[in-house]
Amino acid sequence: MEQWAFLSQIFQIFIAFCLFTTLYGKGNPLRSWAEYSYLAAGTAMSVMWAWTYIRNHAVIGLQAGELIWIPAIILGLMMWFRIYPKYSYISRIPIAFTIGIGMAWTIRTQIFTQFISQISATIVPLFDQGPMWLFERTVIAVGIITMMSFFLYTMEIKGPHLWSATFGEYFMYLAFGAVFAGTFMGRLGLFVGHMQSYMFPVWKQPYTIGIALLVFVVMLALERTGWGAKLSA
């Protein structure tokens, strides 16, 4: 099995760099190959997940005598009628059912964790924890109020509202800048971590660099000769 593990490592590096050629912005066969492999594997995996899910819940549940799964399976099978356009209306029932459940689930959790707790977390004693606290909490409150005023659609923005909305908009961009930087850090960390898995242990380094160069050169060559666009999907 040793060589299989080794082969897997090398294959991983290769397919990864093939997919990295997406950055070049043009089609080439290496990229298409990687994309279609990933698509195939991803789809196969989702089929397996779906099957495992059904098995773990419905099938095992049925075997344990939980009859509640029978309607689940029936509804699930009703979806299959979509294959025949003539009977596709049957599938409306499970769709409607699921939308209802999904929407309900959304409201019931969001109204609390978001709406109420956020409002009540903003209402805090301001004066008892030093000037920095006062400043920060005031900024938060003012920020929320002004930004929210920017998002009032049905009122004409004029007078003091205009001031507040303009300030809110600027405030929002300030926040966007900060958040963007934070996001960049996250993504960079991700990429660095990913590259680390190809660079360590140290024996991988020559392979990684070699494959990276190879893919890069092949990509450029394909691009120059015009074969890249022809052969890609």
Partner 1 sequence: MIGFVPYFIKVPQVNEFANTLTNISSVVGQFTIVIAIYSQYRRSLRFIRERRKGWVYNIYLLTFMSLMILIGFTWGEHNATYMWLVNSIVAPCSSVVYGILAFYMFSAGARAFRARSLKASLLIVAGVIVLLYQAPLTGSYIPGLSPYATFLTETVGMSLNRMFAIAIITGAIMLNVRMLTGRELAFLGFAREEES
Partner 2 sequence: MAELLFEIPGVESGRAFGLILILGIFILGIYYMRRGKLPYIRRVAAIDAISEAVGRSTEMGKPVLCSYGRGGFAYSVIAAMSILGHVAKTCAETDTRLLVPTGGSHTGYLTRELAIDIVKGQYTAAGKPEMFNEDDMPFLSGEQYSFTAGYVGMLVRDRPGAVIMTGGHSSEAMNIAEMSNLVGALTITSGTYVSNMAALACASDYIMLVDEQPAAGAYLSKDPEQLATIRVIDIYKVLSLLLIVVGLLVLNTTGNDFIRRLLAS
Partner 3 sequence: MGKEGVNLLKLMATYDKRWGYLLLFILVLLPMIKPIGMPISVSELTKEYYEQLQTLEEGDIVLDSWSTEYSGYMELKPGMIATHKYFIKNGIKIFICLGHPEGLALVGALLEDELKGYMEAYDYTYGEDYIILGFALPNQAATLAMATDFQGSVKVDWKGDSIKGTFLDRVETGADIDMIADFTTAAGNPGLINHIVLTFGTPMIQNQIGVSLPGSYMNLDAGLITGLLASTRGGSELELLIKEPGPGLIAMDAFTLGHYLLIILIVIGNIGFFGWTKKVSEEMESTTIR
> For residue 167, what are the contacts with CB-CB under 8 A and spacing of at least 6?
146
Centre a 10 Å sphere on the Cβ of residue 6 and count the other Cβ atoms it contains.
12
Contact 197, 2 (CB under 8 A): no
Write b or e for each residue in 15-31: b if 16 or more Cβ atoms lie within 10 A of its Cβ, otherwise e: bbbbbbbeeeeebbbbb
Name residues contacting partner 1, limited to 155-184 (CB under 8 A): 169-184
Stretch of residues binding partner 1 (CB under 8 A), selected from 80-88, 123-131, 155-163, 205-213: 80-88
Counting contacts by CB under 8 A, is residue 15 touching partner 1? yes
196 binds, among partner 3, partner 2, partner 1, none (CB under 5 to 8 A by kind): partner 3
Write b or e for each residue in 169-191: b if 16 or more Cβ atoms lie within 10 A of its Cβ, otherwise e: eebeeeeeeeeeeeeeeeeeeee
Counting contacts by CB under 8 A, is residue 125 touching partner 2? yes
Instruction: Convert residues 27-56 into a mask of x (bound to partner 2 by CB under 8 A) and - (unbound).
Output: x---xx-xx--xx-xxx-xxx-xx--x---
For residue 141, give Cα distances in angstroms to 2, 8, 118, 152, 164: 60, 53, 11, 17, 13
Stretch of residues binding partner 2 (CB under 8 A), selected from 55-63, 108-116, 192-200, 214-222: 108-116
Stretch of residues binding partner 2 (CB under 8 A), selected from 1-9, 56-64, 137-145, 200-208: 137-145
Tokens representing residue 120 in the block: 């009540």
Residues that bind partner 2 (CB under 8 A): 19, 22, 25-27, 31-32, 34-35, 38-39, 41-43, 45-47, 49-50, 53, 79, 82, 91, 94-95, 98-99, 101-103, 106-107, 111-112, 115-116, 119-120, 122-127, 141, 144-145, 148-149, 151-157, 172, 175-177, 179-180, 182-183, 186-187, 232-233
